[in-house]
Chain A
């Protein structure tokens, strides 16, 4: 089974501060994804990547950047965090567009 880990698991940030969420996968999957989960909205796609060096915008990219420095690692960056970005963030990986996405345990972010 796919192994996707996220760090930190919990984060408290101040408004205007920079936040970096990290994701690591050990299954050599090409694709990686960042989602946020909010009550009433389900999971929504923020950014995704097809491989090292690539990042693509998802459905709600505003206020977020992404970085894929290697096959294994995919980061989500909030340059200027806002309270509206308080959420639970999930990273996922998959081997291709049609394939199952495997999810990490999530990062709970609170922006004060």
Chain B
């Protein structure tokens, strides 16, 4: 069964400094990876999706996938206080792409 773990559990960065979040998955045949953001008390907002090794950029968010090492990273360029939120990694594979397995999230605080 797929296991998805995220680190760190919480992260504090200064406004404008790069934030890097890590997601580790267990099934190397996974091919569908998404990063979501959840502000306190709100729903999930998709940030970036990536399906093959390498990088995918969406605005200030860059996902980096390395399936050999079972890692997918999220880098946030020049974060603002409004980026303070819970960041969730979701993984799925193949024709069961609907079956997302979520990590428990990284809580990011951006200090002004």
Report chain A residues within 8 Å CB of B97: 96-99
Number of interface residues, chain A, beta carbon within 8 A: 26
Contact B98 A42 (CB under 8 A): no
> Which residue of chain A has its CB nearest to the CB of B6?
A42
Contact B43 A105 (CB under 8 A): yes
Contact A90 B102 (CB under 8 A): no
Q: Can you identify 20 A-B contacts, CB atoms within 8 angstroms? A: A4-B43, A42-B4, A42-B102, A42-B104, A43-B44, A43-B100, A43-B102, A58-B99, A90-B43, A94-B98, A97-B96, A97-B98, A99-B97, A100-B34, A101-B100, A103-B44, A104-B43, A105-B42, A105-B43, A106-B42
Residues of chain A whose beta carbon lies under 8 Å from any beta carbon of chain B: 4, 31, 33, 40-45, 48, 58-59, 90, 92, 94, 96-106
Distance of A90 Cα from B34 Cα, bound (Å): 17
Report chain B residues within 8 Å CB of A44: 102
> Which residue of chain B has its CB nearest to the CB of A94?
B98
Contact B102 A31 (CB under 8 A): no
Contact B42 A98 (CB under 8 A): no
Report chain B residues within 8 Å CB of A98: 32, 97
> Which residue of chain A has its CB nearest to the CB of B31?
A98
Tell me which residues from 63 to 107 in chain B have a Cβ below 8 Å from any Cβ of chain A. 88, 90, 95-100, 102-105
Distance of A4 Cα from B104 Cα, bound (Å): 23
- Other contacts beyond A58-B99, A100-B46, A101-B98: 17, CB < 8 A: A4-B43, A33-B98, A42-B104, A44-B102, A45-B99, A90-B44, A94-B98, A97-B96, A97-B98, A98-B32, A98-B97, A100-B34, A100-B49, A103-B36, A103-B44, A103-B45, A106-B41
Please tell me which one of the listed residues B88, B96, B100, B104 contacts residue A40 in the complex, with CB atoms under 8 A apart. B104
